[in-house]
Amino acid sequence: MLRSLAGEGTGLAGQILSAVDEMTPPQRVAAAEVIGQALAESDHLPDLRTQVIGELWLRDLEITAWRVLHAGHKSPDAAGRNAFIEAWTSV
């Protein structure tokens, strides 16, 4: 996450959010099911349905991409950038 403060990954984060946003509800359900099946086979997860596991993974992907985009935001002045970085790293 700290590397994203330097603007790294913002392009990919934007593409990820755009792709997820363009999913129809049935596409999201199908993607969550496939992702959930793969994770259930490879991880030690509690007894959750694969749909739930996949949906949680998709939500985490969205939140992470959102945070990278926000971290890459450049304020017009150095004081604003420093305030943003200080607030971000203090969380």
Residues 58 and 28 sit within 8 Å (Cβ to Cβ): yes
Residue 1, pLDDT score: 46
Residue 42 has a pLDDT of 79
Tokens (6 digits) for 55: 């949906």
Q: Is residue 15 packed enough to be buried (19+ CB in 10 Å), middle (13-18) or exposed (0-12)?
A: exposed
Q: Give the pLDDT means over successive 10-residue stretches in the chain (91 positions).
A: 59 91 96 93 78 94 89 68 78 67
pLDDT at 72: 64
* Structural domain boundaries enclosing 80: 2-89
Q: Which of 51, 32, 76 minimizes the C-alpha distance to 84? A: 76
Please provide residue 23's backbone torsions phi and psi, each rounded to the nearest 5 degrees: -70, 135
